[in-house]
Structure 1
Amino acid sequence: MRYQRMNRRTLLASALAAPFALTALGHFAVPAAHAEIDINTAAQFVQTTGQDLVGVLNSNQPVAVRRQQVAAVLRKAVDVDGVGRFILGRWWRVATPAEQQEYMKLFEETLIRNLSARFGEYQGVRFSLGRSQQRTEDDALVNTTIERPNSAPFSLDWRVGEVGGQPRVVDVIAEGTSLRLTQRSEYSAVISRNGGQVAALLDAMRRQIAALAARETR
């Protein structure tokens, strides 16, 4: 069966209409249970991560350098493995061990390339912390406001959980959009349209990475 092309929205693009959204990081989530995280710890983590990103974005480094630096910040801040596994959902059990391994590799590269490409080209960004609240016994929700030149400020909620004893971004909510569920639905649709073959998704992800890489070299 000929593989159908994946929806052209890049990974997390629906939630990243405002380029500062993290991470895109789908609506991030971790499938495993977390230890309860303190609200103040979550807020400080988001504040530090935001400041790191703003510092990179507003630097005078070349775009390519800023992209690499943003990627490094994101890899430290986001629970990429948990996000990727959640988004693949029930298809994780369908995938072979080799497909699972390749999926995780492709997912991380796609995620980081998408976010780095967006973050790495914007300057004049400002970031402010809003209200924090305990979302569940396992995670906290931290509200932020992002401002960019010539654009209206927008609100972004960061869901933070404790992963491996460290705070990590496990969710991003932009304008009420559930990012993890959006991406999970898109990935599932690709697989379903191709007879339940996870290989169809892997092929689409490879094409997406190639397209992103080509744009970065322009």
Structure 2
Amino acid sequence: MRWLITAIIVLATGLANAQASMAPAAQQLVEDTAGKIQARMHEEDARLKNDPAYIYRLVDEIILPHFDFKRMSGWVLGRNWRTATPEQQERFTREFRTLLVRTYSKALVDNRDRKIVYEPLRADPKATDVIVRSEVEQEGSFPIEITYSLYLNGEGAWKVYDVNIDGISLVANYRTSFTNEIKQSGLDNLIKKLSERNQQAANE
């Protein structure tokens, strides 16, 4: 899970609204929110210390609207998504989103000042599916390579649908874990477990 938490550090530095149809807007998308989320965290440092759960609201407000959770959920569940009922799909997507909110929030609080370096975009300017590459500097160690996969949706907004850390895909990582859970006890039980974990974390 360390690789995922490190990814959040980078992700939290990006993801502003992007209505342009050109690929460079995706790069800008990931970079621009750096100032916004970091500024909010510094401005509201006292509140975050008194109310640690407030970070969930910031993550939900600033970062997660730029994820396509339906697409991510579909890829994470694979064929199990296609056989799931609409109600199961909705419940899973909701709990999966909450899971990521928790993970991102903890990483932001613990690592908000870590330096990020973005690589120049390698894509056709007119591309509608791009990869944004970055590195997280590690004191006394090699940097961690992190890439974000984004696509331009029908409304002209760039959306993140996967994160890759040192060659490990977030979608593929959860897909393996969730597939094993479903094989053992079914989709409904997986959703129940996610809900229980999320609720337990909310009460801590």
Would you say same fold, with TM above 0.5?
Answer: yes
Give the distance between the partners of 2:56 and 2:134, measured in 1 at CA.
22
Q: Distance in 1 between matches of 2:179 and 2:64?
A: 25
Could you tell me which of 174, 181, 185 is aligned with 1:190? 181
Q: 2:171 aligns with which of 151, 173, 180?
A: 180
Gaps of 5+ in 2: 13-20
Structure richer in helix, relative to its length? 2
Q: 1:71 aligns with which of 48, 57, 60?
A: 60
The one of 92, 106, 117 equivalent to 1:117 is: 106
Aligned-residue offset at 1:21:
4.8
Q: TM-score, normalised by structure 2?
A: 0.78
Note if contact 2:22-2:128 (Cα within 8 Å) is conserved in structure 1: no
Residues 15-164 of structure 1 mapped to structure 2, 5 A cutoff = 15-18=3-6, 19-22=8-11, 38-59=22-43, 60-61=45-46, 62=48, 63-134=52-123, 138-147=128-137, 153-163=143-153, 164=155
d(CA) in 2 for partners of 1:166 and 1:100?
23
1-side partners of 2:86 and 2:200: how far apart? Answer: 26
Task: Summarize the Cα distance change of 1:97–1:159 in structure 2 as closer, same or farther, 3 Å threshold.
Answer: closer
Question: Structure 1 residues 21, 46: CA separation in 2 closer, same or farther (over 3 Å shift)?
Answer: closer
Counting matched residue pairs gives 189
Q: Distance in 2 between matches of 1:15 and 1:123?
A: 16
Residues 203 and 21 from structure 1, CA distance in 2 versus in 1: closer, same or farther, beyond 3 angstroms?
farther
Per the normalisation by structure 1, the TM-score is: 0.73
For residues 21-54 of structure 1, the C-alpha deviation after alignment (integer angstroms, 9 at most, x for no partner) is: 549xxxxxxxxxxxxx633111111111333333
Work out whether residues 5 and 103 of structure 2, in 8 Å CA contact, stay in contact via their aligned partners in 1.
Answer: no
CA RMSD in angstroms, aligned pairs only: 2.8
After superposition, the Cα gap between the structure-2 partners of 1:146 and 1:14, relative to the gap in structure 1 and judged at 3 Å, is closer
Name the residue aligned to 1:212. Answer: 201
Q: Distance in 2 between matches of 1:46 and 1:182?
A: 22
Q: Is contact 2:27-2:121 (8 Å) kept? A: yes
- CA drift at 1:189: 0.8
Query: 1:40 is matched by which residue type in structure 2?
Result: P
Over 3 Å counting, the alpha-carbon distance change for 1:206 and 1:150 in structure 2 is farther
Q: Which structure 1 segments of 5+ residues have no match?
A: 1-12, 24-36
Alignment partner, residue 202 of structure 1: 191
Give the 3-state SS of the residue equivalent to 2:203 in structure 1. helix
CA contact 2:72–2:161 (8 Å) conserved in 1: yes
SS at match of 2:117: strand
Paired with 2:180 and 2:2, the residues of 1 have a C-alpha distance of 16
Instruction: Output the CA distance in 2 between the equivalents of 1:54 and 1:128.
Output: 16
Report if aligned partners of 2:133, 2:147 keep a CA contact under 8 Å in 1: yes
CA 17–69 in structure 1, closer or farther in 2 if over 3 Å, else same: closer
Higher normalized contact order (CA 8 Å, seq sep 6+, divided by chain length): 1
CA distance in 1, matches of 2:175, 2:55: 29
Identity %: 20
Question: What amino acid maps onto 1:168 in structure 2?
Answer: K
